[in-house]
Amino acid sequence: MHFMKYISGRLPPNSNTKQARRRGFDTQTKSASDYFTQTSIGSHIHTRAMDPANRPPEIEKFHQQLKAWTVLHLKREYCVLEAGCGTGAVLRWISPEVKLVVGIDNAHLKVDESQDMVLREHLMNVQVMMGDFFHLHRQFERHPFDVICLYSNTLGNFPGMEAKLLRALAKGLKKDGQILLQLYGDKSIQPRWNFYSTIGWPNLRYNKDEKAFRAKGDGFDFVSLVFDEPKICQIVNEAGLELAEMKKVNIGYFVAVKQQVY
Ligand SMILES: C[S@@+](CC[C@H](N)C(=O)[O-])C[C@H]1O[C@@H](n2cnc3c(N)ncnc32)[C@H](O)[C@@H]1O
């Protein structure tokens, strides 16, 4: 694979700047979550939300359950993509389970942080690069993945575009591959409200009709939906994919999606 050359964890020769270490290409796609991830203020607030040390117990439990469930879907020989890897917390625990794990994110500050973590912790089978959900087919067209993870309710950052996002991710999958999703459900509303308030999301509100959290401030524009079973089924159908598994856990769902077999 063209990205295997960086598997040693060492930087490529032109790596004297952080800019040079970023792989892939910048996004052309504007999405609901682009803005807050591309600015330093937004990125700083968002990074606080991703830090496991800041999570309240219900949310931390949801992430611990996710680890156990994910591992059941992985094999040693797998190449896995984490779409929207953020600061790399998931890459760290997937790494020992598989042959290769690639993290992509369209926010350069997050790519830098993840790459620093990978180097610091000598994660030899992890690569992090700039990339866009909606251009996976171009970036990885010759190297599809066994599993693509879209975690921390990232699907919920794209209201109205969920099916489009799943279809785009499916283009990076092997024929028998699976997309794994971690989605928040109704029971997440109270703990997330408490969590987001504590970490200082500006102008936080929960819109009952839309079933979505929103927050907005200088350099920060955030939306995150709450899912239920009918909505998940509808999105998967609309994407032309097949639901392989839906597991309801304490405050949300773990969902496995595969390509339809004709
Ligand atoms: C909710 S965070 C999830 C972070 C990480 N997966 C975790 O579980 O801690 C969503 C991530 O997706 C990234 N993102 C948003 N839109 C993207 C896009 N179009 N292409 C690639 N990454 C994107 C954001 O920068 C952010 O880091």
Mean pLDDT by 10 residues, the chain (262 residues): 39 40 40 43 64 84 97 98 96 98 95 96 97 91 95 97 97 96 97 91 94 90 96 98 97 96 73
- Could you tell me the distance, in angstroms and rounded to a whole number, from the CA of residue 114 to the centre of ligand 1? 12
- Could you tell me the distance, in angstroms and rounded to a whole number, from the CA of residue 117 to the centre of ligand 1? 17
* Spatial CA neighbour of 158 closest among 223, 85, 253, 77: 223
DSSP string, 181-236: EEEE-GGGHHHHHHHHHHTT-TT-EEETTTTEEEEEETTEEEEEE---HHHHHHHH
Ligand 1 proximity of 213 Cβ (cutoff 6 Å): no
Ligand 1 proximity of 178 Cβ (cutoff 6 Å): no
Q: Which atom of ligand 1 is nearest to the CA of 150?
A: 6
- Could you tell me the distance, in angstroms and rounded to a whole number, from the CA of residue 153 to the centre of ligand 1? 9
pLDDT at 169: 97
- Could you tell me the distance, in angstroms and rounded to a whole number, from the CA of residue 84 to the centre of ligand 1? 3
Q: Which atom of ligand 1 is nearest to the CA of 86?
A: 27
pLDDT at 28: 36
Ligand 1 proximity of 155 Cβ (cutoff 6 Å): no
Ligand 1 proximity of 27 Cβ (cutoff 6 Å): yes
Ligand 1 pocket: which of 82, 106, 115 to mutate (most atoms within 8 A of CB):
106
Give the residue whose CA is nearest to atom 13 of ligand 1: 84
Rounded Cα distance between 240 and 153, Å, is 20
pLDDT at 6: 36
The single-letter DSSP state of residue 155 is: G
Q: Which domains does the chain have, with CATH numbers?
A: 30-184+228-259 (3.40.50.150)
| Beta carbons of 85 and 110 less than 8 angstroms apart | yes
- Could you tell me the distance, in angstroms and rounded to a whole number, from the CA of residue 81 to the centre of ligand 1? 12
pLDDT at 44: 63
- In angstroms, what CA-CA distances link 21 with 14, 61, 93, 218? 7, 34, 22, 28
Ligand 1 proximity of 85 Cβ (cutoff 6 Å): yes
